[in-house]
Amino acid sequence: MTTLTELAEQIAKLYPLHDKKADKRYRVVGELAGMTELEGTNGEPRYIQTHVLKDKKVWHLLH
């Protein structure tokens, strides 16, 4: 049986990008023409400008 801690670690590995302002996790799906497609843990897509990911105040890459 998986413990809660192990489950949290698995989610962090699958969705390594953390939006600090929204407190949500994402994974990068693709990049095209300066835009990055992200997928949240709930499966919803999110599209942002790629350069925005460099803002350490908002984004944290766990790996």
Residue 47 host element (H or E) = strand 45-49
Residues 6+ apart with CB under 8 A from 60: 17, 18, 20
Distance CA 45, CA 28 (A): 10
Regions of the chain with pLDDT less than 70? 1
- What separation, in Å, do the N-terminal and C-terminal C-alpha atoms of the chain show? 25
The neighbouring-strand residues paired with 24 are 19
Residue 12: per-residue pLDDT: 87
Residue 61: per-residue pLDDT: 92
Residue 8: per-residue pLDDT: 85
